[in-house]
A and B are shown apart, each in its own frame.
Chain A
Amino acid sequence: MTVTLDLLPVLPELFVALCGLILVLVGVFRSGDATRPIATLCIMTMVTAMLLIWALGPDRQTGFGGLFVADRFAAFSKQLILIGSVLSIALAIPYLEREKTARFEYPVLVLFSTLGMMVMVSANDFMSLYMGLELSSLPLYVLAAYHRDNPRAAEAGVKYFVLGALASGLLLYGVSLLYGFSGTTSFLGLSRSFEDVSGPPAIGIVVGLVFVVAGLAFKVSAAPFHMWTPDVYEGAPTPVTAFFSVAPKIAALCLLTRVMVEPFAAMTDQWRQVVVALALISMLVGAFAALTQANIKRLMAYSSIGHAGYVLVGLAAGSVLGVQSVLIYMTIYLFMNIAVFAVILSMRRMGRHVEAIADLAGLSKTNPAMAFVMAVLMFSMAGIPPLAGFWGKFYVFMAAIEAGLYPLAVIGLITSVVAAYYYLRIVKLMYFDEPVESFDRPVGTAPVVAMSVGTLVVLGFTFLPAPLVTGAKAAAAALFPTG
């Protein structure tokens, strides 16, 4: 009986893990190229996992003696992660087939990485947090170097691996300090031991906290821990970059949110300083460093650093509204970003992929539909009302103002105006510049689906915000004990 009770909360993870193991065997023993069927099966596995999460219900359940927790927050983040992974596999397969580098390991690695992210957002203990983090990162290092004969991809893989290992080291060092202080690694035990402290917390815990935040900031690529991001985004194959920019980022931000809000609830004043600093630097780097980029993948890297900054503004509020704004922002970011990458993946000339921003010039004349989609997405990224991107920023800044973080909100507004320049420059290029050669047709089914889903969400959120806003609110409330 206890076994059934224990296994029920991890059912989606268990299912994904078993399917992953079976798919590895199928891929190995199937003769010929098995990429497409395996990718289809991976997508079906993840869709089933989404249904399982939904079927499990929203109640908070812990498993394995409190190592693992399934609650509304975890369910919400897992759905986002799974949507990101499904779309990125769907986008990747046609690309890999065109590049003649399709291998069945690709979807399987994405599946295992997704499993690691699901474990991460459900972690209720620093040990399971670390296990999930490594299980999600290891496939990412391999995927970054997937085009192993391309020196830039190999460089991206090595760079990501070395810095990722350093980040893990920082995180573990912080965790060891926290364990030394409280004698436990469980989130519940940690929050209890911090509540016991009267007066300011000991310097040791604060150092431990800073190391933990620094380790996780590497994973969300928040400045000043962002150095790897542009090189890795540029060097890795484009569908891998698309995956990097959504699923792992969302998982790490959800994880950071849970770690800050649950075990460190009693130390909000301490971690708020660190998160505010990260948010400020990320927004500034994201806005100003992107101005001079000529490669669209590098531009997206800086844009994602900036977006991480805005999400951290919401987190810095440390309230239900703050966590709610984090979830809303990340949902909108997920759909915007995957659609932008669908456009980038469609930038082909004579069967070769091009990555320069200048290649988009005059797109409105050669492919009006794609230019319209890209324009809508860029307006949304810049945060122009009434598109979804505006509402994401609106909720984040609302939370910051409610928490009294006025300077942060003001600087956030200024940087989003600066960032609007490079988003709108793309729109200007597409609509007002002389057309260069047109891109290859047809675009393909998967990119069209991703583009339309993204555009629909971006356009439709204003008219139908209720499901996302209330869902995010319920998920956010799950992290706070009194609701």
Chain B
Amino acid sequence: MSTALIFYLFAGLTVASGAMVVSARNPVHSVLWLILCFFNTAGLFLLLGAEFLAMVLVIVYVGAVAVLFLFVVMMLDVNRAELRAGFLHYLPLGGLVGAVLLGELVAVAFAWRPSESAEGLTRAPQPDPMQVTNTQALGHLLYTDYIFLFQTAGLILLVAMIGAILLTHRRRGGVRRQVIADQIARSPRSVELRKVQSGRGI
């Protein structure tokens, strides 16, 4: 009973704060609602017994991603009126495409008939929750079974970083750059320390 109550509390707050993220007028408020949404989702994970995911969600998403969003939102000067200018213009066609897609989805959902072996196969990668902790199970899945995908994902991120630097990094002339090696290599003799008495100059 109490678990159900807590579930509905977290789930209701998640949905409500999610709705506020998209409807808030001030983008900074949107990010704050998003943080609330993350916290409630973490609560849902805890109820499922996935404590590792819950903690990661709080640390990574609230601690890092949401703060990054906040920086971006505060730094970008988004003109909302300009964003909405084309909205009405594209609404009929976009709405039509969306309606067709929705119709197709509904048709698919009604005719849905998974194969007999599907349920067993979906559960196959999951170890017995009584035997291993979920942190261990996740680690096994990520770093042993799917190590190939994990490393490829790492390479994709590396390529994204190289690409971002390649497309945005510029060397401007007339800029005095800090050369740390030169600073460290300065000999103590090139600096003179003097004691200055108060009230007098050098």
In the complex the two chains form, is A10's CB within 8 Å of B162's CB? no
Residue pair B145, A183 in contact (C-beta under 8 Å): no
Q: Which residue of B lies closest to A206 (CB)?
A: B108
Contact yes or no, A181 B114, CB < 8 A: yes
Q: Is the CB of B167 within 8 A of A183?
A: no
A163 close to B (CB within 8 Å): no
Contact of A17 with B149 in the complex, beta carbons under 8 Å: no
Contact assessment for A127 and B114 in the assembled complex, using a CB-CB cutoff below 8 Å = no
Residue of B nearest to A131 (CB): B152
Give the interface segment out of B16-24, B71-79, B115-123, B172-180. B115-123
Shortest beta-carbon distance, A188 to chain B, in Å? 11
Q: Is the CB of B159 within 8 A of A112?
A: yes
- The answer to whether A202 touches B147 (Cβ under 8 A) is no
B166 interfacial by beta-carbon distance below 8 Å = yes
Interface size on A, residues (CB 8 A): 46
A65 interface residue per 8 A CB criterion: yes
Given A64-B148, A67-B148, A109 and B159 contact (CB-CB distance below 8 Å): yes
Q: Which residues between 91 and 119 of chain A lie within 8 Å of chain B, taking CB atoms?
A: 103, 105, 108-109, 112, 115, 119
A182–B121 touching, CB < 8 Å: yes
A142 within 8 A of partner (CB): yes
A197-B115, A204-B112 known; A184+B149 contact, CB < 8 A: no
Q: Considering the chains assembled together, what is the distance between the CA atoms of A182 and B118 in angstroms? A: 5
B79 CB to nearest A CB, Å: 19
| A250 vs chain B, min Cβ distance (A) | 20
A309 at the interface (CB under 8 A from B): no
Say what secondary structure dominates the interface of chain A. helix
Interface string of A1-36 (1 = CB under 8 A from B): 000000000100000010011001000000000000
Within 8 A of B (CB), among A72-107: 103, 105
Q: Size band of the B side of the interface?
A: 20 to 34
The answer to the question of B200 belonging to the interface, with a C-beta cut-off of 8 Å to chain A, is no
Interchain CB contact under 8 A, A119 and B152: yes
In the bound complex, residues from chain B placing their C-beta under 8 Å from that of A103 are 166
| CB of B89 closer than 8 Å to a CB of A | no
A-B contact count (CB 8 A): 110
Whether B149 and A183, one on each chain, are in contact in the complex, defined by CB atoms closer than 8 angstroms, is: no
In the assembled complex, which residues on chain B have CB atoms less than 8 Å from the CB atom of A108? 162
Asked if A203 is at the interface (CB within 8 A of a chain B CB), the reply is yes
Kindly specify which of A132-140, A317-325, A417-425 makes contact with the partner chain: A132-140
A64 to B165, CA, bound (A): 33
Q: Contacts A67-B148, A128-B148 given: A196-B116 contact, CB under 8 Å?
A: yes
CA distance A182 to B124 in the complex (A): 13
Contact in complex: B153, A193 (CB < 8 Å): no
Q: Please give, as numbers and ranges, the residues of chain B lying within 8 Å of A203 by CB-CB distance.
A: 107-108, 111
> For residue A181, which residues in chain B have a CB less than 8 angstroms away from its CB?
113-115, 118
Question: With A127-B146, A135-B152, A193-B118 in contact, is A204–B163 under 8 Å at CB?
Answer: no
| B-binding residues in A (CB < 8 A) | 10, 17, 20-21, 24, 63-65, 67-68, 103, 105, 108-109, 112, 115, 119, 127-128, 131-132, 134-135, 138-139, 141-142, 145-146, 148, 157, 177, 180-184, 189, 192-193, 196-197, 202-204, 207
14 sampled A-B residue pairs with Cβ under 8 A: A20-B155, A24-B162, A64-B147, A67-B149, A105-B165, A141-B163, A142-B159, A148-B167, A182-B121, A183-B120, A192-B117, A197-B115, A203-B107, A204-B112
Closest 6 CB pairs of A and B: A183-B118, A183-B121, A142-B163, A183-B122, A131-B152, A64-B148
Known contacts A138-B156, A139-B159; 11 additional CB pairs below 8 A are A24-B162, A105-B166, A135-B155, A138-B159, A177-B108, A180-B114, A181-B118, A183-B114, A183-B120, A184-B118, A202-B113
